Amino acid sequence: MSKKALLIIPPERFNEDELFKPKEALEKAGIEVTIASTKTGEMIGDFGGKAISEKIFSDTTATDFDVISVIGGSGTNDHLWGNDELSAYLKKAHNNKILVSGICAGSVSVVQTGLLEGREVTCYSVDVQKEQLKANNVKYVEKHVIAHRDIITGDGPDGAEEFGKALVHAIN
């Protein structure tokens, strides 16, 4: 049975590198990728790139996937931070031993679940994100990727390729 990944993007202004580089790494490894958001249809990235959200993430079953990843971009702060539905979804996935991950602002969405309390996390090195980590009692570390056994965080566009490889490695 082939492995499956769910990449959750904001409904506007996702980061292209943070979506497309991990997606490519996963697909090259034979992992089936589904893109989801808070709505379906065409989403426009921070730099005008386009992606199709096939599903509303909350309409999917977390346990159908081997990894769930929250993708960053300026829209993530507006639409996915403080999103109770997303938090509950990620917690349920984690409780069912599904690998939960996030990159850049998406790392913050994962941190907001409380699942990483007291642990090391990476995100984009900007105050607005680092302050969220501090507020949720996690330790910021400046690295491209921090891979715990159950949760992986990535820092942003520069680490997007490494983040994709870490996801593949973790579920293969």
pLDDT one digit per residue (tens) for the chain, 172 residues: 789 999 999 999 999 999 999 999 999 999 999 999 999 999 999 999 999 999 999 999 999 999 999 999 999 999 999 999 999 999 999 999 999 999 999 999 999 999 999 999 999 999 999 999 999 999 999 999 999 999 999 999 999 999 999 999 999 8
Cβ of 54: how many Cβ atoms within 10 Å? 14
Does the global pTM surpass 0.85?
yes
Q: Whole domain around residue 22: which residue ranges?
A: 4-171
What pLDDT score was predicted for residue 71?
98
What pLDDT score was predicted for residue 129?
97
What total of structural domains would you count in the chain? 1
What pLDDT score was predicted for residue 1?
72
Q: Give the DSSP letter of residue 149.
A: S
What pLDDT score was predicted for residue 4?
98
What pLDDT score was predicted for residue 24?
98
Rounded-to-integer distance, Cα 80 and Cα 69, Å:
12
CB 153 within 8 A of CB 103: yes
CATH of the domain at 97: 3.40.50.880
Q: Name every residue whose Cβ is closer than 8 Å to that of residue 35 and which is 6 or more positions away in sequence.
A: 7, 9, 19, 23, 51, 52, 53, 54, 55
